[in-house]
Amino acid sequence: MTHPFEAIAHLGVVPVIAINDAKDAIALADALLEGGLPVAEITFRTAAAAEAMSRIRAERPELIVGAGTLLDNASVAAAKESGARFGLAPGYDPVIVDACQVHDLPFAPGVMTPSDLSLAVQRDLRIVKFFPAGIAGGPDALRGIHAPFAHRDIRFIPTGGITLETLGDWLSLPMVLAIGGTWIARTEDIRDGHFKEITRKAKAAVEAAQRVRERSA
């Protein structure tokens, strides 16, 4: 089985999703799969996250489901039990790093400063989430933060404030593994059943990422 972060690197895009009702999980998974984007970060910002992941694992196992907003041990345990294949957090917390290691859950903590990144490097973490990417200073800030660590082969998943229009600014950076996008499957689109729109956005994101990667090759 392909490592989840390898699959994410190939795609270049991770939809970041807050789902309010687990009954919508399969329709959401189908919309993403139809759009050529077989991955989803289901965030623990809602009570439906664990059940949504469980349903996707059972009925659409071809979709690589991950857990976002891991802020406590209970969320990490629930994510693993529900079938999450990777985890992310908005910040760096050694308690969460430990919990993910205990549960054998590939994990990318959030970083925004060189100090955050230093802590991740000390724990031998090589994939991190740059968050919130937009207000943290954009691609130029990431270049500056990464520079002292370039020899450590750190890869980033910038998330927060990225759009289809700015996707290329990030993916053109060699240290960027993929970007996280909240615009692809918005909570209100899931709630209102706009799954064709989610498919359209997923397809557009994948195609845009492929174009950037081809130009950078």
We report the CATH number of the domain holding residue 69 as 3.20.20.70
Annotated catalytic residue within 41, 62, 165, 188: 41
Question: Please, what is the angle between helix 195-216 and helix 25-34, to 10°?
Answer: 40
The burial class, CB within 10 Å (0-12 / 13-18 / 19+), for 147 is exposed
pTM of the model: 0.97
Let me know if 201 is a catalytic residue: no
Residue 41 annotated as catalytic = yes
Domain count, the chain: 1
Catalytic residue among 129, 165, 207, 214: 129
Supply the range of the domain harboring residue 164.
4-216
Each residue of 162-195: pLDDT tens digit?
A: 999 999 999 999 999 999 999 999 999 999 999 9
DSSP state of 151: G
Contact between 163 and 186 (Cβ < 8 Å): no
Tens of pLDDT along the chain (217 residues) come to 569 999 999 999 999 999 999 999 999 999 999 999 999 999 999 999 999 999 999 999 999 999 999 999 999 999 999 999 999 999 999 999 999 999 999 999 999 999 999 999 999 999 999 999 999 999 999 999 999 999 999 999 999 999 999 999 999 999 999 999 999 999 999 999 999 999 999 999 999 999 999 988 7
79, exposed or middle or buried, with CB in 10 Å at 0-12, 13-18, 19+? Answer: buried
pLDDT in tens, 188-216: 999 999 999 999 999 999 999 999 999 88
